[in-house]
Structure formats: structure tokens, C-alpha cells
Structure 1
Amino acid sequence: MSNTTFRKFLRAEDATSLENYVGFGADTRSLPKAFGSRPSAYMMPASEALSQFGSGYDVESGNAPLNTSLNILHTQRFQLEKDRSFQYLFSLNTDNNFQYREGVDRFFNTAQGIYDNNLYTTTNRFSTNSSVLSAINYGTKRLSLNLNAFYLRGTENTIQDQLGYTNSQATVSNAFIRLNQLQKTDFFTGQLFTNYKLTKNDAHSIKAGVSYSKTQYQLPDRKSFRGSLIDEHTTSVNYSGNSLYRQYMNFDGDFFGSGLLEYNWKFGHDDLTKAHKLSLGYNGSFNKVASSSRFIVSQNLASNNTSFNTNAPDATLANEIANGNFTYREGSNATYAATMREGVNAGYADLALQFNDKLNINVGARVEQSERLTRFRNPGSFSDPFQRVKLNNLDVLPAANLKYSLTDKANLRFSASKTLTKPVIMEAFPLEFVNPDATIESGNPNIINSDNYNFDAKYEFFPTNKEMFAFTAFAKYIENPIERLFLQTAGSGGLQITYNNSKQAVLYGAEIEFLLQLSRLSESLSNFSAGFNTSLMYTRTTIDVVKNSVETAAIGDNNTRRLQGASPWLINADIKHETDFSKKWKSTMTLAYSIYGERIYAVGTNGLDNYYEKPFGKLDFIWNNKISTKWDVKLGIENILNPTYRIDLGDESTIQIFENDLTVKDFKRGVGVSLGLGYTF
């Protein structure tokens, strides 16, 4: 919850309704047929420019209420004849969140060593999430059958203002950009799992499962204007130069399916809880995603500029279109559509050996064949053929784990494995997401998986069933680590945020974790417990400049630096108080703090140093109350200290930098207060 006013869409009162927004993007998929190979030549007639849009640029101000959440849970179990049972669960959840941020937003002109954009940004967001979960379970002596379904709808309304200068024009400090958008996400997943005992004693069993998921992300009408802020309430815009634009984007996870089939054999001991276990199985997944977008920009006709009330431009712009002073022209290019398909087929085997009460060993391997096919066009003509990037992999992934019980309360664990890190959709999908401040976010279809070789040694001690102490030493070698890059275009013009593989990386470190009951210190603290976790880590990445085809800033010797995204240290700590105020009222209060050390946010290129995410400490308070057997009440205060989040350019660039302040982004996240209510019946 913000202590300032919150701006929102005039039509955003029903944030889950899109009837007023979908008209703009409805014909996106027919874009090539409608506009031919030169869509930028098409200009809308006034009637079309006035009628195509169900939402406008107008906004209003209002005070942000308390963040709230509500959940309802119902579950029941039925015991049937012949040792059969049936159980069902239903859960309904909804919440909303208001957020306000403000701070600087900058990027560099690498040709001149000065800021290209130097803007002060204020952002207001209102988000909602609603979800439904249902599950049923049917069981017999041998069979367990589980079916569940989950649906989530999320919306986010954003009003963002940026004030300062762009295109290195430091003398023009009243450049103003207003972004106004609604995002909508729909996610559905259904899963069916079963476990069947082939023999009565469970010595032989099979496990199987299938799942289906579908995701849809929409920007029904993302719109922005950029011009000059004349005074507190007035903005002047120029119709040329993309000063007004509207953008539609649809991202469909059309299909994600997965399957599992596993056979288990317990052998070597009459007591099957102490027997060895062999598992043989197959699992696979198949994924298809597609994107489509449309982009239109203002085009001057009889006039080249106008002024309007910053928060209420719609009436003025409608009048200007009706009078023939400007219209919209097509700004979409051939990159408007792309698809990606992924498939994984894997077989695996795992052997768990229990030699005695003290020593357990697991050894196994997974053989995985995967394929990723991406189809997209580069900027150019709609008639150009689609580019195809096809990546195939065959990976053998062994793993071994050892557990040795030193005593009934202490264990030693050792593990070694090879794993994969696969790029997430945003890192690999060739979608260009254009922001009004000339930054572009895009995936890299040529990015490949990272191979990870992992080694861990752990000592754990359990003084009581509520306490724990653990020390872990770890090491990892990574081939082709995936990292975020900031790429500057030649001279002035923009910043591209994308991803690529470095050559290799090594990291090693140690982690300490404990959970302690404070009654050890004093009986008066018997209701308190403390948790603590910290890790220290050293990382070193080797850069392959030729492979990346970019001039990466080399910090240190032999083109090496720290691994992007890895903190050299981090700390998590909490203090918890648990008490029963009465027979029906149980209370848990938690004060939690977390902080991480400086880490590389993005790799610098074109002679710029890396961009460093500065330490950020977060203090939260959560109070959970169980009242009777049906009601749950939760009060949360998030980010109590409200520190400044900051990203700085490092001071070891190989080009001359003339700016004294190297902070490229900062903001305060604000203090959030939320109230949640749950009912179980």
C-alpha cells in the first residue's frame, strides 16, 4: 500500500473484464493480408482511428486501499466399503495489490560516454489474482488415483510517467513519457497421477501420470504518448516521431503436456522399509508457444502538434482526428509473429541401496533427448521466409548420493551430479518487446542449455525434533552459463536487454543453516524460535568474446569476471513467536529479514563495465491466526525498512565516461500492508 495517491485506468474498476479492450488486437493474425508487404504505408482513415479502440489514454487519481486477500477451503473424506476411500478438496483464492515506485531510469550513449536517456520514473501498479483449485483422490488397498485442476487469472494495470531528457539532449529536461497499459494472464493446468501396487506387499509397483497446461498472456491495448511537459497539468506532443503509439501483444502457451511411467522394485529385505529399491522410468514433455503483435503510431496530416490535459487527453485527440489533423499509421514489422516448439524424451534409472541402518547410497542416470524449433522473421518484408533455428541435444545425466548416519541425530551427506539449466521462455523466444523509452527486451533463439557439474558435502544435526543445524560445502562447474546482457546500439538510439551464453564458469562456497528454540537461552523465551541461513560463494566466469560477437567488458585478467546473477554472500534470518491465546485461537508471529551481496545484474558490452545490483535488505512481519477450526486471519507488513533498490554501472569501463553519477536505476518499493481472510468448511 502506498502512502501517495494511486493512478489507475478510468475503465480499470473491473480489472478482470476485457470487453472494452480487445477490439484493437482482434485482427492481428491477418496483418499480412490486410496490409501487404509494406504495412508502414497504411494510414487509418478518421472513422477507423476513432472506432477501433475500446480504451483511451485518460487516467484518474485515487487513494490506494489496503491490500487484501480472501481464501475459502473445503475438504472432506469418505471411508467406503472394502477398504476404499474417497476425498475431495476445493479452494478459492483472490487477492489484490497496490504498488508505487519512483526513481531514476537511465542508459548510456556509448559513442559519447554520457547518458542517452536520463529520466525520473514514477510507476503505479494495481494487480489482482484469482485462482480455483479442485482435487479428488480415490484409494483402495493397492490403488491411489489423484486428479486435480488449477486455474489462475491475473491482471495488472500500470501507469508509468518518465520525466527528464532523451537522445542525449541534456538541455531539454522536460521530455515526458506516459505509459498506460493493462496486462492479463490466464493459466490452466490439469494433472492425473496414479500409483498401483502390483503385489500386496508393495514389493513391485508402478507409478504413472499425465498433465496438460495452457497459458495465455495478453497486452490488449498498450498505449503511450511522449512529448514535453508544459506545466503540472499540460503536455504538448508532436504527431511525428512515434509520439503516440498503441501496441497489442498476445503470447499463447498453446499446449504443454507431460507424461510419466515408472516401475519400482523393492528387494533384499523382508522389511520393505529397509529394502533396496530399483526405479526404471520414462518421462517426456512437449511444449508449443506462439506470439502475435501489432504496433501503430501517430502520423501528422494537417497539423503537427497539440496540447492537452495530461490526465485527460482523449477528448482532445478524438477532436484532432475528427478534424483531420492526425491519424494512426501501421508501424508493425515482419517480426510480429513467432512460434517455438520444444520436446523432451527421457529415460532414467535409479538404484537406492540401504546397506544398514547407517549407510544409504543412491546411484542413477537420466538419458534425455530434447529438441527446440523456433520460427521467426527478422525485421523486413512480410513476404520474407521464416527463419528456422533448430537445436537438438542428447544428454547423459548421472547422479550419486550418499547418506551416512553418524548418530541418531547427525548425518553426513555427499552428492555429485550432472544437471541442465535450460533457458526460460523469455530468454529464448525471439519476441521484441518495445518500451516507449527506447529500450527493447528480446530473447535469443540461438541460446543453448548450460551443463552443470555439481558437488556437495553436508553435515546435519537435529538436537530435537524442532531444531536443526547444517553446514554445506558446495562446488559447481558450468559450461555455457546463461547470462543477461545490455547491448547498446551504435551511437544514440536505444538499449537492448537480451541473453547469451558465456564460455564457462566455476563457483564454490559454503552454507550454514540453523533452527533454534530460544528456550535454550531462557525459559521465558519458550514460545520463540530463531532461524538463520547464510552462504558465502566465489564465482568466476570465462568470456568467449568471439563466440558472443560482442565486445564484453573484461574485468580482471584473461577475460574473466564474476557470474551474472550470483551474489558473493546472502543472509536470511527470522524470529518466530508461537502461542495459543485460547483453546480456539492459535497465533504465529514472524519477523523475517533477508539481504544479498552486490551481484552483476547485466553484463556490460561495447566497452561499458557490468551493471551491478546493490545489496538490498528486506524486513517483513507476518501474523497468522487460526481462530477456531474454520477461520484464518493473516496480517502482513512487507518491506518495513523501505530501502532503496539500486543498479549502478561499474567504474571500470574501457571507454571514457563523463557522468559522475553511475546509478542507472533506483527506486523504493514502498511499504506494503495486507490483510488476508480464510475460511475452511
Structure 2
Amino acid sequence: MKVNKLTIAVLFLTASSSVIYAQQKKSDTIHKEKKIEGVTIQGATKKGTESNIINLQRKSVEVIERVGSVQLEKQGIGDVSVAVTKATGAQKQEGSGQVFIRGLGDRNNSTTMNGLPIPANDPIYKNIDLSIIKTDMIDFVGLEKVYNPKLWGDMSGANVDVVSKIYTGKPYFKVNLGSSVNLNAIKKHNFFLQDGPEYFGFTQIIQPTNNSFINNGYVFNTSWANKEVLNPINSSLGIDFGRTFNIGNTGRLSLFGFGSFDNNYAYKDGITRSVDMEGNPTKDLFGTEFAYGTNTTGLLNLNYRLNANHNLKLVTNYIHTSEQKLENYSGYIRDTNENRTQETAMLRRANYKTNDLFINQLSGEHTITSPLKLFWNIGYNRLDSRRPDRMQNISVFNFTEDSNYFAASNPGANNRYFDKLVEDDVVGNLHADYQFTENLKLTLGYNGRYKQSDFKATQFNLRVNASPKTYYLNPADYGSFFNSNNYNAGLFDIVTFRGDIKWNPETALTPQSYYSDVINNAGFANVEYKLSEKFTGQLGVRYDNLDQKMTYSTAIKEGQVDKKYSKILPALNLKYSVNDSNNLRFSVSKTYTTPLLLEVAPYEYEEVDELSFGNPALYPSDNYNADLKWEWFPKRGEVISITAFGKYIQNPISRVTVNSSSNSVSFVNIGDTGTVFGAEVEVRKDLFEMGNTKLYTFLNATYLNTSQELSREKVSTETNTSYGYTISIDPSKSKDKMQGASDFLANVNLGLEKKWGEKNSMDFVVSYSHISDNIYAIGYAKKGNLVDKAINMLDAVMKFNLSNGVGISLSGKNLLNPSFKRVQDNTNGEVTVRDHKKGIILGMGVSYQF
């Protein structure tokens, strides 16, 4: 850890020294400008350029932070989840596209596209997996870490706003081809996946019907055997195009289209372990994971400018993703092979997930009169997320007898699982700006959202009836035992948690389910007043009315929840322009944080090393936020800023380890209060320029100090309800850090830009990131916190854009190939419970623009 901190300190000292050395005193250019009367200059502004983004940041009364498409292209960043981590105070959660911002994770953040909320593509998350959104189809990603009443009130970390690209400029058509390899995957002589899914990831494995189970018994069509994959090489193909059309004397239609398909193979191996309160393992496994993912995306953006006063925009976006994981483990499972000297447990788990997400938006901007402007935006989103045919097997291999058999004590050890989540989401914004005078503007608005979620899941447990050693079992193909002949012979039964499908099919085949309706109505008012040439303030208030109804029938409980919340959310934003290049900003606000659906639903969600379940008694927390920021804009395209911020949280929500024989976690309002204090530094600066060559940097760092109360009595009292169940926790401390918060985050980027000829350019960017330790889940008694250890990441990208339209890129990702390690921080010392490396990824891409 000391080595990591020293490395970071040296990097920041070097970069800071370069900034100081490179800085030259600039005169105030504004005072030297001459006014030219009667001249109007019209032109298209590239929203994604660094200079435009920083200029908007300088002028805006609200605190805004954006990462533009031009910067992302230079760094070779292909998805929004990585793009967000280039902003100050953001970190990406390992193994997902979810991000933590200012130490606060998924439930504390919100995601919008063009200002409208979009649904998560996975029931275990509140926000969409940002890694499935491609950066080629956006103008910029905005991080709104300071609240204003126009934003939806359900946020405490930040709102991530993905702004889709509006085409400007000359007509073009561009083709992108790319290929890369994960060195972990390509080194495997045999790469395996499960049977059923195909290359493009569109195959839907349909759950057998109830009648087929009743009439035919064993009716699963896909094989239990692994399927070998040749040449696990990543590939990508994309096209994008743009064109404008003049309509009449004043109208202009702008068309932008984007389509892509890419896939990726990955492999990792390492340990997976869970321990009891004494530190003794309940599972001690070495495992391998083969993974394959696909992403198919299409976007069409139509922007129709009727005239100078009226503008309409239509965005339609379809994203299909698929993910396969084949995991194989061997070692010790306490409930399976107690005799470790003669036996080893063997666990196989194959998981297939598909997501279909449709995002449709129609918006308008209208100047009604000179002082009155009207803005509206409506959207319809639909998500179809499925886990079809997840397979799991657990068997035992006896060394002395050279035989394989099942441990019959757990009927759920061998199962096939199907689930489906369908969400329909209707959202809308409407607000009007009225400019009373040059110094006074009033904004009034309404936000509305109606979201329906329908989730169903069935796990078919294959209960073994045959005695060990009386049957043949091949662990390379569990279909050697689980087949229709053995089922008809009575060697195993198919049961669910509701019963045996052979004897009680009507009840047994009823799926676990939950159904949710969420209605959110909000009105807001905001006054912006320019007190002087240098001092501007915004004062606003938002009223949120939230109504959530849920009906559930699961293996844990049946019931329903009907909760209503009303929130009054004031916000104050002040900006003082010290001079043309320096701003001081101060903001205070109140927001709230709602738990996500699966944190409330009493449904068990099982992974190999963890089981999580929701808490119907969970309720929103209230957040009080304050920010103080200084910004310095040395010259066009440059900014240096320092921010101090604090948050006071009432009834914070946290993931906790609960009292159970398994490694189970749940979600509770863990204490009365929590606090977050932090400081951020951001630098975007040209270090050296000579002719057409430029060396530049953009770096940021965040320090966090977090704390929350931990109360066993509060959790026990609040979860003892008629519609829930008592959750038992026993934290070893009365206070601890916030779950998910890292003490220190840093991003250091150094870039070299070279231009020659008419339109030839080269960009070389090296990117380094550091994330310090953070708590994954609060511990139980001697069974301490689950902690994700610090990691350091290094990427490098070189891109050539030539005047003949050809582009070439070379990339190296995850070059340090760090170990991703999670430990159980027990009272008698750390126990490693996860440890693996993702592998270095080397890639090359070619593009041609017509």
C-alpha cells in the first residue's frame, strides 16, 4: 500500500510541477476586445470538443462537469462506464458497468439520457450498465454532482446524463473495424461455453411449458456438456453517418445514425472462498471462468430545426446485449465434502443473460415570445431482461475410489433456472423559462414517471434419489445422469420450492414473482438572479411525490407493500466570477435516495459465493449536500479546479452480512446518520507546445472521509414488520466507513498530439487510474467487513487520422494486469475470499470515412 501511495504521489508531483512550469501569465483578453455592431456569426458548435465543454463550464451558473466525445476518441474509450471514470471522483465497480461517484454507489446515483431517466438493464441494479452504451453515439457524458431542482431528486452521488449526438457538418459515412485479444483467453488451448447460445447472442432459450413438464417429465433440450469455442478473438464492426437537409426557407433536418456489433472473450482463474465467524472456510474453491459477451446497438437521431424559434428532436435507440459465463470450481464445500483428504467438491455453473432495451424520446424547444421559452421531453422505455437456462451442478470426486457421485443432502445443488424481467417506463419533462429582465429569470416545471416492473423466476431443482455408487456420472457431461431415461426410472425428481412437479404440478410450477408500480410526480420552481456583473445566484425548490406498490410471492414470503413518500427539496447555487478566468461557486441542497427494486423485494438472488435477499421494510434516506468550488481557466481548453464537499445522510442504506449459515447479504437502513467529507482536484492543461505538436494532461484526484452509524437495534426494530421479517445483524463497531467508498481516487492522463499536412493527426494517450480499498459489505460480529482491495490500472492508445479518410488505432488495456482481490477483514486477520486477474487486452482498429 505504501508503494502505491508513493507511486501516486510521484505522478501527481511530476504532473503538478509540469503544470507550474508550463503556465505563462495571460493578459485579460476580454478588455482588449472591440465591439463590432451589426454583425451576426452563425455556425455549428461541436458539443463534444474539449474547448467547448470547458467554455460552457466557465459560463454556467450550475456546476457542471462533462467528458466529451473528442477526448474519449483520443483515449480509445469505447463505452460510457469507462468514460465516467475519467471524471473527478468516479470509480467503476469491478465486474460490472456500475460506477461509484464520490464514494456513493449504484443506489445513490441516477442515469438519464438527454435529461430523461432510463431503466436499468439488470434487476440487481438501479442504473443501466453504462458499459453497454457506446461512446461513438454520444456528444458528451455529463456528471451532475451538485443538485438543482430541474434534476430528478433521487440522487446523492450524482446524476449521469448521456447526451446523444446531434450531427453537424458535412455529410459523411464511416466504417469502423476492430479486433483485440484478451491474453488470458487467447492462451487457453481449450475455450468452453455452455450449449445453447450462439455467436451473435440473440438466441432465446425458452422455458419449457407447464404442460410439457406434466406430460413428458424431463423436457430440457439444451445439453449439460460444455461447448468448445475456436479462436476466442474479439471483434467489432460499426458504422455511423450524418447528413443535413434544408426544408423550406428556414427549416433544417439533421440526421445521425449509428449501428454496431462487438463481442469479447475473457478468461480468469483464482480462488473463491467464504468463511464463518471463526475464519474457517465454508467454501474453499479454485475456479476458472470462461466468459463471452455481445453488444448490438442501433441509434437514430433526427433533429428538425423549423426556424430560429422552434426545434424538435427524435431519438430512438435499441441495445441488445448477451453474456455467457461458464464457471468450474473444485475444492471444499462444507455441506458437500467434509472429508477433504479423500474427496473434492466439483461445482459447475453456466449462466446466460440477455437484455433488450428500447429507448425512445421526443423533445422540443420553443421560443414563444422574446422572454418566454418552453422545453418538453417525453419518452417511452421498454426492457426485456432474461436469464434463460442457468445451470448448476455440484458433485463429489473420491480420490481413493476414483468415482464421482452427488451429495444428496441438498436438492438445490443441481438445478436449472429461468427468469424474466419486463419493465415499461413512461417519463416526461416540461418546463418554461421566463426572462423578466436581463438579471432575473424564473423557471417553472413538471417531471413525471410511471414505471411497471414484472419479474418471474423458476428454479427447477433436480433432487437425486439414487444412492451413491449405484449410477454412472461423468462430470464433464452431467447429462450422463440427468436425462429422460433416468428421470423415468426414478433416479431423480424435478422439484421447486413449492413442491414436486410430478405429484403437485399446478402448485409446483407457479413461479416466484414480484410486480411493482412506481409513480413519481414532481413540480419545481427556480429563480436565477444576477445580483451584479460578477455575482449570480439560483434559488429553487422541488416537490417530489413518490408512490410505490409491490406485490410479491417468493420462497421467502408472500405479501404486498404500498409506500408513499413526499419530499421537499430546496437548492441554492451561487457563482462569483472573480475575473474572466476565475470562478468561486457555493451550493447547498437536499436530495433523497430510494432503494432499488431487488433491495426491497424479498427474493433470494444467488451467486457461487454469495446469496442476497431484499428487505421490504427498507425506506429512502435523506441527503443534505454542500459544495465549495474554485475554478481557474488559464486559457481556452484548460481548467484547474479544487472542490470541497460534504454530505449529511439520514438513515443511510447499506449492504450488510446477516446472521446465517450461508454467506448471505441483505440491505438495511443501518444507522440514524452518515457523513461524507471530501476534496477534489482537477487539471486539464497543455504542458508543452511547439508548432503542430502538443503535450497535454488531464488529471484528477479525490480524497474521501466517510462514516456511518451501525445500529443492530435499529435494524431489528425497523425490519420487524407485518409485511417483512426481522433481519439480524451484529456489526463489531458502532461506526464504520460508508459501504463502497474509497478513501482516494486518482486519474492521470498524459497525451501527445501531432498534426501534419492538411488533415493528418496522431494522438498518443497513456491513462493511469488508482482506486483505494473500499467496503463491499458490512460484516457480522467476528466475521468482519468484506473489503475490495486497492487496484492500479494502466491503458495506452495510439490513433492516426489521415487526410484520405483512413483511421488506425492501436490499444493496450489493463497493462498492469492487477489482482482484483476481496478479503474478509476478520478480527483475527484478513482472509482472501476472491482473487483473480482479468488479463491484458491488446487491440487494433481501422476506420474509413467517405
TM-score by length of 1: 0.87
Say whether residues 1:535 and 2:698 are aligned partners.
Answer: no
**Partner of 1:137 in structure 2?**
303
Say whether residues 1:486 and 2:657 are aligned partners.
Answer: yes
**Partner of 2:318 in structure 1?**
151
- Match of 1:433, SS state, is strand
**Partner of 1:612 in structure 2?**
787
Query: Which deviates more from structure 2 when the two are superposed, residues 663-672 or residues 334-343?
Result: 334-343
2-side partners of 1:235 and 1:424: how far apart? Answer: 46
Say whether residues 1:663 and 2:832 are aligned partners.
Answer: yes
* Deviation of 1:56 (Å): 1.5
* Deviation of 1:337 (Å): 0.9
2-side partners of 1:601 and 1:534: how far apart? Answer: 22
Say whether residues 1:589 and 2:755 are aligned partners.
Answer: no
Say whether residues 1:22 and 2:206 are aligned partners.
Answer: yes
Matches within 5 A, 1:331-480: 331-333=496-498, 336-379=512-555, 386-435=558-607, 439-480=610-651
User: Is the Cα–Cα contact under 8 Å of residues 335 and 431 in structure 1 kept in the other structure?
Assistant: no
Q: 2:735 aligns with which of 551, 560, 566?
A: 560
Over the matched positions of the two proteins, sequence identity in percent amounts to 24
Q: Which has the higher strand share?
A: 1
2-side partners of 1:591 and 1:335: how far apart? Answer: 50
* Deviation of 1:235 (Å): 7.6
- Match of 2:223, SS state, is coil
Matches within 5 A, 1:41-52: 47-49=216-218, 52=219
Matches within 5 A, 1:516-535: 516-519=685-688, 523=690, 526-535=693-702
* Deviation of 1:69 (Å): 2.2
Question: CA offsets, 1:293-344, max 9 Å, x none?
Answer: 1111223455555444433343554375277252441224477111111111
Relative distance call for 1:331 and 1:590 in structure 2 (3 A) is: same
**Partner of 1:512 in structure 2?**
681
**Partner of 1:299 in structure 2?**
463
**Partner of 2:814 in structure 1?**
639
**Partner of 2:419 in structure 1?**
249
1-side partners of 2:481 and 2:511: how far apart? Answer: 33
Relative distance call for 1:176 and 1:239 in structure 2 (3 A) is: closer
2-side partners of 1:388 and 1:508: how far apart? Answer: 38
**Partner of 1:38 in structure 2?**
none
Q: 1:330 aligns with which of 485, 495, 504?
A: 495
Superposition RMSD in Å:
2.6
User: Is the Cα–Cα contact under 8 Å of residues 22 and 54 in structure 1 kept in the other structure?
Assistant: no
- Match of 1:174, SS state, is strand
**Partner of 2:361 in structure 1?**
191
2-side partners of 1:53 and 1:319: how far apart? Answer: 9
2-side partners of 1:524 and 1:228: how far apart? Answer: 69
User: Is the Cα–Cα contact under 8 Å of residues 732 and 780 in structure 2 kept in the other structure?
Assistant: no
User: Is the Cα–Cα contact under 8 Å of residues 71 and 677 in structure 1 kept in the other structure?
Assistant: no
* Deviation of 1:63 (Å): 5.3
**Partner of 1:101 in structure 2?**
268
**Partner of 2:387 in structure 1?**
219
Unaligned runs of 5+ in 2: 1-181, 499-509, 717-727
Counterpart residue type for residue 314 of structure 1: G
Query: Which deviates more from structure 2 when the two are superposed, residues 331-340 or residues 478-487?
Result: 331-340
Say whether residues 1:318 and 2:518 are aligned partners.
Answer: no
- Match of 2:713, SS state, is helix
Question: CA offsets, 1:136-178, max 9 Å, x none?
Answer: 1211222111111101100011100111111275642610100
User: Is the Cα–Cα contact under 8 Å of residues 235 and 309 in structure 1 kept in the other structure?
Assistant: no
Relative distance call for 1:524 and 1:627 in structure 2 (3 A) is: closer
Say whether residues 1:205 and 2:364 are aligned partners.
Answer: no
Question: CA offsets, 1:105-159, max 9 Å, x none?
Answer: 122233x542111112211110000010011121122211111110110001110
Q: Which has the higher helix share?
A: 2
User: Is the Cα–Cα contact under 8 Å of residues 330 and 347 in structure 2 kept in the other structure?
Assistant: yes
Query: Which deviates more from structure 2 when the two are superposed, residues 114-123 or residues 222-231?
Result: 222-231
Question: CA offsets, 1:624-664, max 9 Å, x none?
Answer: 44344755544432211111111112243xxxx5xx76111
Relative distance call for 1:647 and 1:239 in structure 2 (3 A) is: closer
Counterpart residue type for residue 532 of structure 1: L
Say whether residues 1:68 and 2:68 are aligned partners.
Answer: no
Relative distance call for 1:248 and 1:585 in structure 2 (3 A) is: same
- Match of 1:91, SS state, is strand
**Partner of 2:119 in structure 1?**
none
- Match of 2:688, SS state, is helix
* Deviation of 1:256 (Å): 0.6
User: In the comparison of the two structures, how many residue pairs are matched?
Assistant: 633
2-side partners of 1:300 and 1:614: how far apart? Answer: 40
Q: 2:746 aligns with which of 568, 571, 576?
A: 571
Relative distance call for 1:606 and 1:673 in structure 2 (3 A) is: same
User: Is the Cα–Cα contact under 8 Å of residues 487 and 497 in structure 1 kept in the other structure?
Assistant: yes
User: Is the Cα–Cα contact under 8 Å of residues 264 and 292 in structure 2 kept in the other structure?
Assistant: yes
* Deviation of 1:581 (Å): 5.3
Question: CA offsets, 1:604-625, max 9 Å, x none?
Answer: 1244221111111111123344
**Partner of 1:264 in structure 2?**
433
Q: 1:551 aligns with which of 722, 729, 746?
A: 729
Say whether residues 1:623 and 2:793 are aligned partners.
Answer: no
Question: CA offsets, 1:433-485, max 9 Å, x none?
Answer: 23455x32223232222211111111111111122111111111011222111
2-side partners of 1:446 and 1:670: how far apart? Answer: 41
Counterpart residue type for residue 522 of structure 2: A
Unaligned runs of 5+ in 1: 28-33, 36-42, 270-274
1-side partners of 2:406 and 2:267: how far apart? Answer: 29
* Deviation of 1:413 (Å): 0.7
1-side partners of 2:611 and 2:286: how far apart? Answer: 19
Relative distance call for 1:506 and 1:235 in structure 2 (3 A) is: farther
* Deviation of 1:9 (Å): 2.7
2-side partners of 1:680 and 1:368: how far apart? Answer: 47
- Match of 1:57, SS state, is coil
